[in-house]
Chain A
Amino acid sequence: MENWISEKNGQSLSLREVPVLRFAELREDIVEKCRHGMRIAGFFGHREEKTLRLFIVLASDAESTLLVSSAVFSEDEKSYESLTPELPQFSMFEREFYESYGIEPLGHPWLKSVRFPHDGAIKKNEADYPFFKVGGEGIHEVGVGPVHAGVIEPGHFRFMCDGEKVIHLEIHLGYQHRGIEKLMTFPGAISGKSVLAESIAGDSVIANMMAFCAIAESGSEGTPPLRAVVIRTIAMEMERAAIHIGNLAALAGDIGYLTANAFFGATRTYVINLLLAFSGSRFGRGLIRPGGIVYDIDPEIRKAVISSLKMVKDRVILMGEQMFDFPGVLSRFQRTGVVDAATAHKIGMVGLAARASGLKTDVRSDHPSGLYRFSPLHRLSMETGDVFARAFLRYLEIKQSLDFVLEQLEELSDEGSIMKSPAPLKADSFIMSLVEGVRGEIAHFCITDSDGNISRYKIKDPSFNNWPGLAYAVRNEGISDFPLCNKSFDLSYCGFDL
C-alpha cells in the first residue's frame, strides 16, 4: 500500500482510500517531503471507536495536489516522536493535537496548550503553563491582555524585554474558544450549519463560506450554477479589498498618520456598503448558501457597484501613492518587524504575510478552484518581509482585487440561475477544501460517518500558521512597535480559537 493518496483541492475521498499506517512508518516520509517543498495543511485527530486516527494532509503547491494519509494510535499508545525539532512548521499543529487527544509529541520544545478547548483531553489551565522566562540583569516582563485598550478581540501577550527592546514574545490565545468544530458535528443537515461557518471569523465570512460550501456541495455532480460561482468570487475579492483597506487605515492610525486613517476608513465603508447593497449585510452574511447564492446582482445594482468601485479604486490610489511616498510613514514601516524568507518558510507562514517575506504561496494560484481556474490572478509578492512589505502588498492586492471584481462585473450577464440544491454529503468520506482568505490559506476538512453525517469538522485559519510569525517579527524591536507589527499581520483571534 502506498503511504499517501493524492487528490485535488475541493475533492472528496472515500475514507477507506486514505492509507492507515503507524506514525513511525510515516515520520521519515513527512520529513523528506517537507524538505522537498511540501508543507503542512492539515494535522488533526479523529476518534474512531477504540482507536484514534491522526489525519495528515501535505500540500504540494508546485503540483497543485494534496497528499493525505493517516496514522492510528491504539488505546495504550500515548506518545510519538515529535516532528517539530526538524520541521518547526508542525509546532502549533502538534500542540493542538496534544491538547485535544492527549498524545504527546516526544521532544517537542514547547508543549503548551494552544487554546484550552472545552473538550480537550489535557485538562490543564493557564497556571499550569508558565511563560517562557529570560534571565539576566535588567530583563523585565510585560503582560498585556486578554482585555485590551480598544475594541479588539482578546489575547494575552507576554513580552520579555531588555529595557525597551523585546527579547521574546509569547502569544497566549484561546479566549475566543466557543466550540465551533464540535457544533459542526451536532445533528442536522450541513446546510443548517451555514451561519456557524459564517461565524468562524466575522471579517472572513465569504472566504469561510467558500470553503464550507465546497464541502457541502461535494456530494453533488458538477458545480453550482456559473453565475453563483462568479458572484461568490466577486464577493470574495470585495471582502479582501475591504479588509485590506480597513487594515491600511488601522496601520496609519498606529503611526499617527490620521489623514490616511480617516481616508481609508471612509473608503472601506464604501466597499462594505456595496456588499450590503446586494447581500443585505455589510459583511456578506446570508449571501452564500450550499448550492449557490441567495441574492442576485441585478443590472441596476451591477451598474451602481461598478461606478462605486471605480471611485473606490481612485481613492485607494490617491491615498496609497501619498502614503507610501511619505517619509514619516516610510521611517516607521521600513525595516520594522522583519521576517526573512527562510524563517517564513521554516515556520510555515502562509498568505499575505508569507508573500511579503518573498514566498510565493497563494491558494488561488497553487490550488485554484471555482472561478480562479478560469480567471487566474497574477501572484504578487514582496521581498523585504517588514511592516512596509506587508502594508504595500495589501495596497497592491486591493488594486488587484478591485480590478478583478470590476472585470467580472463588466462581463456579468443580466440573469441566470443562482441556486441548485446540493445533494447530501457522501457517507464515509474525507473532504478537503482550501481557500485563500484575506490572511491566507483557510482549510476546512470534513469526515462523514456511514450515514453521511458529519463526524469531524476541522477548520484551520491562516492565523494558526502566522501567529508564530508575529512573535518572531517583534524580536529585537522596540516594544512600542508591537502594535504596528501586530496590525501589519492583522491576524484573527476568533479564527484561531474556534
Chain B
Amino acid sequence: MFKFLKIRKVQGRQYIPDIRKASVNQKFRGFPLLDSSLCSSCGKCRDVCPSGAISLSPLSIDMGKCVFCGDCTQNCPHESIRFSNFHKLASDSREKLVINPGRSAENYCKNAVEAKREITKIFGRSLKLRSVSAGGCGGCELELNACGNVNFDMERFGIEIVASPRHADGVIITGPVSENMAFALEETYKAIPNPKIVIAMGACAISGGVFAQSEAINREFFSKHKVDIFVPGCPPHPLTVINGILDFLGA
C-alpha cells in the first residue's frame, strides 16, 4: 500500500496542461524555413531528398512528401534550408503543404486548417476515429497511440480511437496503402456511417512518402475519397496530430 502511494506520488502530473500552447524540444525538425537569397540552385538538397519533396527554381519543400530527415540541411552548402521546431504542421489542403521561401511558421499556421461551421457543429465536442494502418513502418502507429497516453491524453478533447468503424465518425490512415491492404481500407471506410471525415497521417499516407515509387502500393483510395486533414511528419509528433484535429474542429 505504501509503495503504491509512492508510485502515485512519483508519477505526479504527467499530462500537458495546455496542449495548444505546448512546444517541442529545440532539436525537433518541424516547419521548414527556406531562404532563396542564399540558394544557388545547386540541386544538392533535391538530389539527397529520399522522397522527392524538394523543387528548385523557385525553391520549395512539399511537407506532404517531406520525411523531416534533415539530409537536405546537412548537404546544403549555403544553409538555405533549415528546420524550425514549430510543430503545428497540419493542413486542410494538399496545396498548402508546399512551402516556399520566406514563408514563416506563424503565417502558415494562421490558415493551414480552417474550421468549418458544420464540422464544429457535428463533431466539435466528440470525434470518434477508426485507425487503419496500411503498409507503413509502424512509426505513425506509435505516435498515434502516444496521442492517447497520459502525456497527451487526446480523449480529454473528445477525440477517441474506437474499435468499430460503426462507432466512428471518420478514418485516420497511416502508411502508403499497400496493395494488400487496399481492399480492407476501402471496406473499413464504407462501414463508417455518413457524414465522415478522412485524416491522412504521415508522409506515407499523404503522398506515399519514401514508398511512392513502389509497385506494391495502391493509392486508389485517395483518388476516390477526399482527405479532410493532412498531418505531415515521419512520424508526426503527437502534438502535431492533436492540434491539427483541434483546429479542424474549431476548438
Q: Which residues of A approach B to under 8 Å, CB–CB?
A: 115-119, 146-147, 149-154, 174-180, 182-183, 186, 192-196, 198-203, 205, 246, 259, 262-263, 265-266, 269, 273, 276-283, 285-286, 289, 294-295, 314-315, 318-319, 321-322, 492-494, 497
Contact = CB atoms under 8 A, between A and B. Distances in A.
Contacts of A146: 181, 184
Given A154-B181, A195-B50, A280 B10 contact: no
B163 A262 contact: no
Nearest to B133: A153
Contacts of B24: 276
A277 B25 contact: yes
Contact of B50 (A115, A192, A494): A192
B50 A183 contact: no
A277 B25 CA distance: 6
Contact of B7 (A180, A282, A319): A319
Contacts of A183: 210-211, 213-214
Contacts of B51: 195
B67 interface: yes
A172 B130 CA distance: 22
Given A118-B215, A176-B178, A269-B146, A286 B210 contact: no
Contacts of B164: 149
Contact of B139 (A202, A273, A276): A202
23 contacts: A151-B131, A152-B133, A154-B184, A175-B134, A175-B181, A176-B178, A178-B176, A183-B210, A183-B211, A183-B213, A195-B50, A195-B67, A199-B209, A200-B137, A201-B137, A202-B137, A269-B151, A276-B27, A277-B25, A286-B71, A294-B70, A295-B27, A318-B7
Given A178-B211, A192-B50, A199 B137 contact: yes
- Closest 10 A/B residue pairs (Cβ): A202-B139, A149-B163, A179-B216, A118-B216, A195-B50, A202-B137, A179-B214, A202-B138, A199-B137, A266-B14
Interface residues of B, number: 67
B178 A175 contact: yes
B48 A192 contact: yes
A263 B7 contact: yes
Given A196-B50, A262-B150, A279-B27, 7 more contacts: A117-B216, A118-B179, A178-B136, A178-B175, A266-B149, A286-B29, A294-B74
Given A176-B181, A196-B210, A278-B27, A203 B151 contact: no
B139 A199 contact: yes
Contacts of A279: 27
Nearest to B24: A276
B142 A203 contact: yes
Nearest to A322: B3
A178 B83 CA distance: 28
Nearest to A295: B27
A201 B138 CA distance: 6
A271 B242 CA distance: 21
Contacts of B70: 280, 286, 294
Which of A147, A259, A262 has the most chain B CB within a 10 Å cutoff?
A: A147
Contacts of B131: 150-151
Interface string B61-88: 0000001111100100000000100000
Contacts of B237: 282
B214 A178 contact: yes
Nearest to A200: B137
Quick one: which of B8, B28, B148 has the most chain A CB within 10 A?
A: B28
Nearest to B187: A147
B110 interface: no
Nearest to A173: B180
Contacts of A186: 213
A119 B215 contact: yes
Nearest to A294: B74
B217 interface: yes
Contacts of B135: 175-178
